[in-house]
Chain A
Amino acid sequence: MPESMLLAAALGVVGGALAVGLVVFLRRIVLSSKELGTDAEQATYQTLHLASQAAKHLRGGIDELDAARAGKHLRALLGCDSLAIVDRSGTIAIDGDEAVRPVAERLAAAAIASGRQQVQRRIPIGAWETDAVVAPILGSTGPLGAIVAFASPVRAGLVRATGEVADWVAAQVELGELDASRAALAEAEVRALRAQISPHFIYNSLNAIASFINTDPAQARELVLEFADFTRYSFRRHGDFTTVAEELRSIDSYLRLERARFGERLKVTLQIAPEVLSTVVPFLSIQPLVENAVRHGLESKEGGGRITITAADSGAFAEISVEDDGVGIDPEVLAAVLAGGPADAEHVGLRNVDARLRQVYGDELGLVVETNVGAGTLVRMRVPKSGPRRPSSTGTPDGRLEP
């Protein structure tokens, strides 16, 4: 009977998982009773544990949702009845009795205004009374908010602890802001790295066009239009991502302009799997590879050469490669450039693309370059089809184009 075999297999798996779970659980119980140490050690551990739990939620700032999650741990840390975290704009997150809201609002406003810690006793809330201690959260730029702890009665220990917790929260929030500005810096860096049209290329193209104006006006007109297309794409200001198809279109314009100079010496082979055409890639991430191949691989080679551009489907990834049979690059020079040589060095386009790929997809998906002097150059990249994990704050990562 196949059903009974399947059933037996399923039961076996479930039973095995349960047995493993039971063993792990028992082991933990046995070990924990032995190894937890003295009361003081346990208290230290407990405090640090609660603090680290709360810290996770404070890094994003003290808006309502995060403050409410952190408040739960902070209340346990202080051992008070209710705890309110109020931010500068007056948003309150309360853990405990909701009835203290108006009092917390009033006390917090006073503390934020004065910047000083206060204790108030015998505050009537409904039918009963409670004491409260309020401490401002003081950041380096002024008060960020306040913490109000309710207990009856408030003892000196709680007053001191509340002040310390408020300082600690301020430190965490500022750390969070530091994280945010670091991320913003990284994003700005990527934007600054966005490839620029080289002045060299503009100069060469215009010269090539000029040489056709008298001899072949139709050709000159075509080239001007290509130039317009190419610059329109490259100067695009919105969106950090595009599709492989768009990128290919720009490469086509670029190569037509280069061909005006190279003539028949520049040959191109394309092998593009249609599945990857709609893959989202960082804006101007393939064109600089082609430009690098032309400028540094083929320009100095006598008789020109061939550029092969392939884009292949590889499961959840798209593999894109640009190969030329030009003069190649000295591996040591290349390693120095990729490691961050002077910004005006040769092959800076490669470094540019490499840095942006690493920034967007992580270090394991940077450029892979195979080259040697006289042996041509093969540059490969692997891009996940699912797009960037961390979409940038501006622009649509799906590569949709605005008209």
Chain B
Amino acid sequence: MNPVIGYAAIAAVALASALIGFYGLRVSRTTSDFYVASRTVRPWWNASAIGGEYLSAASFLGIAGLILLQGSGGLWFPIGYTAGYLMLLLFVAAPLRRSGAYTIPDFTEARLESTWARRVTSTLVIVVGWFYIVPQLQGAALTVRITTGLPSWVGSVAVAVLVAVIVAAGGMRSITFVQAFQFWLKLTALAVPVVALLLIVGGGEPPAQLTPAEAFPPAAGPADLDVYRTVSLMVALLLGTLGLPHVLVRFYTNPDGVAARRTTVIVLALLSVFYLFPTAFGLLGRAFAPDLAASGEADALILLLPGRLVPGIWGELLTALVIAGAFGAFLSTSSGLVVSLAGVISQDLLGGSVRGFRIAAVVSSLIPLVVALSTESTGLAGSVGLVFAFTASTLCPMLILGIWWRGLTARGAIAGMLTGALLSGGAILGGPLLAAAVPVLRPFLEQPAAWTVPLAVLVTVLVSRADHRGIPRGADAFLTRLHVPERRVH
């Protein structure tokens, strides 16, 4: 592959993101008209921004790789990633917007009236964010290695440094515009190559390396699925979306709860459309590039397939588009995460100053970089799935019970979050070792959400019930605020 194309695509995306981030607001919203200036973000824009922030390396590269490796089993990931927004729509979006809280720790503190509950939540949010950034950096490492031939650490370092510099220099001022741009970039970068590839292979040239019957053996169909693993994965993906810090922050941009709900519906539609394309890539890969199906390499399928099937300059252009989209995915997700993490860190530890925010932004990009450099990717979709499992076992019970159960107390929430963190964290970190010793436990350790989430909920409820201090004094007033629809001025 021609490395110049890789360099050019990466540089173009990085430059475009930075320029829109720094100047987008100045160009698009300098006016002397108050009506224009106080137009709120339309649900369409905000939904695009949420999509841009949410679609990470796992969605862009990981899903196609997983389908190449596992066949139909990999299809559960796009389903779960999308359906998580259904849970968000049903249980969280509008009440959280009405709470007026900007971050999850703000919500916890306002709901439970406890600084300790806030500290535990902040710590978990930071841990979740950091571990979510790691796969983005690993995806960048893979992309740079495949497309330019440079050593893989270059990719991780480049993305981490870019994100740290852009965020610390105030380059996410018009974050909604940047992220919305990234969504449409990602969608285009997958949709155009997929349509082109389908047109080309529809003409019979080049011939498929595997016939459909070989590529999709009936034995590996849905009948073969392990019920426990599937259920557990679904629990993790459906509930994990609820606690992702960078996604929840975007709902604050909506003017009210109704707009928050409408935005979520549009996000569902946008994601449903988007996930058609990585899925199609995965299926094409199974038929036309089965040799890529090796662990760690499969994630590069989307980057390599256009060059293999389309010869000449058109193939190179398609590859450039795909590389640009992939880099958009790494940059947008990591910068969204770094912005919200830096907000939490600077508010809780550094007194909320501008300087504190910059320091926190640099720290939040460098720590995941160290982790990404010292570990090796074993599949992007899988590692993001584990972050979802951790979020689902820690932040999600607290959020849902905090919104829907007035009996939740600070001690109950802290106990539940710590239980969930210890169990799911232990299963993720210590799982491989324990599974080698006791093979029967393997599925339970590899997909822990189905037992850790109920346990965390149970502990939260029991400790809250046993808490002799009773529910927080302002709980009723706060819940009223969450659930009573806004009245408009007539």
Contact = CB atoms under 8 A, between A and B. Distances in A.
Contacts of A65: 469-470
Given A271-B25, A273-B174, A316 B103 contact: yes
Given A386-B106, A403-B488, A278 B252 contact: yes
Interface in B16-50: 25-26, 29-34, 36-41
29 contacts: A2-B378, A3-B429, A3-B432, A7-B430, A9-B374, A245-B38, A245-B40, A249-B34, A251-B34, A270-B36, A270-B37, A271-B29, A273-B174, A274-B29, A275-B176, A277-B255, A278-B256, A280-B100, A312-B25, A313-B172, A316-B344, A317-B352, A364-B353, A385-B102, A386-B347, A387-B101, A401-B487, A401-B488, A403-B487
B103 A386 contact: yes
Contacts of A245: 38, 40, 255
Contacts of A272: 29, 37-38
Contacts of A346: none
Interface string A325-367: 0000000000000000000000000000000000000001100
Interface in A279-328: 280, 312-317
Given A65-B469, A314-B354, A386-B103, 10 more contacts: A248-B38, A251-B34, A270-B29, A270-B31, A271-B26, A273-B29, A275-B41, A315-B343, A316-B103, A386-B101
Nearest to B253: A275
Nearest to A245: B38
A269 interface: yes
A5 interface: yes
B98 interface: yes
Q: How large is the interface on B (under 10, 10 to 19, 20 to 34, 35 or more residues)?
A: 35 or more
Contacts of B32: 267-270
Interface residues of A, number: 49
A125 B236 CA distance: 57
A103 B113 CA distance: 36
B375 A313 contact: no
B106 A274 contact: no
Nearest to B41: A274
A268 B103 CA distance: 34
Interface string B454-479: 00000000000000011000000000
Given A2-B376, A252-B34, A385-B252, A315 B339 contact: yes
Given A277-B40, A403-B490, A398 B342 contact: no
Shortest beta-carbon contacts, A-B, top 8:
A316-B343, A252-B34, A270-B37, A398-B100, A386-B106, A385-B102, A3-B432, A315-B343
A397 B357 contact: no
B213 interface: no
A249 B38 contact: yes
Contact of A3 (B37, B99, B433): B433
B253 A278 contact: yes
Interface string A386-403: 110000000011111111
Interface string B166-198: 000010111110000000000000000000000
A315 B39 CA distance: 21
A314 B40 contact: no
A156 interface: no
Nearest to B356: A315
B393 interface: no
B255 A384 contact: no
A225 interface: no
A10 interface: yes
Contact of A313 (B37, B98, B173, B433): B173
Given A271-B25, A272-B29, A315 B433 contact: no
Nearest to A251: B34
A274 B26 CA distance: 12
Contacts of B346: 315-316
Contacts of A6: 375, 429
Interface string A237-272: 000000001001101100100000000000111111
Contacts of B483: none
A4 interface: yes
B58 to A, nearest CB: 17
Main secondary structure of the interface of A (DSSP, over half): mixed
A6 B339 CA distance: 26
B487 A402 contact: yes
Contacts of B429: 3, 6-7, 10
Nearest to A387: B100
A11 to B, nearest CB: 9
A152 to B, nearest CB: 28
Given A7-B430, A387-B100, A398 B41 contact: no
Given A65-B469, A272-B29, A384-B352, A313 B103 contact: no
Nearest to A389: B109
A402 B490 CA distance: 10
Interface in A203-261: 245, 248-249, 251-252, 255
A185 B246 CA distance: 40
A397 B481 CA distance: 10
Interface in B85-112: 98-103, 106
B254 interface: yes
A243 B44 CA distance: 22
Interface string A180-211: 00000000000000000000000000000000
Contacts of B39: 274
Q: Which of B38, B41, B487 has the most CB of A within 10 A?
A: B38
B93 to A, nearest CB: 15
Nearest to A272: B37
Contacts of B219: none
A35 B197 CA distance: 80
A400 B353 CA distance: 28
Given A270-B34, A271-B29, A400 B41 contact: no
Nearest to A270: B37
Contacts of B344: 316
Contacts of B430: 7, 10
Contacts of A398: 98-100, 481
A280 B252 CA distance: 11
Contact of B433 (A4, A278, A312): A4
Given A270-B32, A271-B29, A278 B98 contact: no
B351 interface: yes
Contacts of B170: 314
A251 B490 CA distance: 20
A252 B170 CA distance: 28
A280 B256 CA distance: 12
B291 interface: no
Most chain A Cβ neighbours within 10 Å, of B102, B106, B357: B102
B392 to A, nearest CB: 20
Nearest to A316: B343
A313 B481 contact: no
Contacts of B354: 314, 382
Contacts of B175: 275, 313
Contacts of B469: 65
Given A7-B430, A397-B100, A274 B34 contact: no
Given A273-B25, A274-B29, A316 B487 contact: no
Given A2-B376, A251-B34, A272-B38, A7 B352 contact: no
B349 interface: no
B489 A403 contact: yes
Contacts of A384: 102, 347, 352
A313 B176 CA distance: 10
A274 B100 CA distance: 16
Contact of A274 (B176, B376, B490): B176
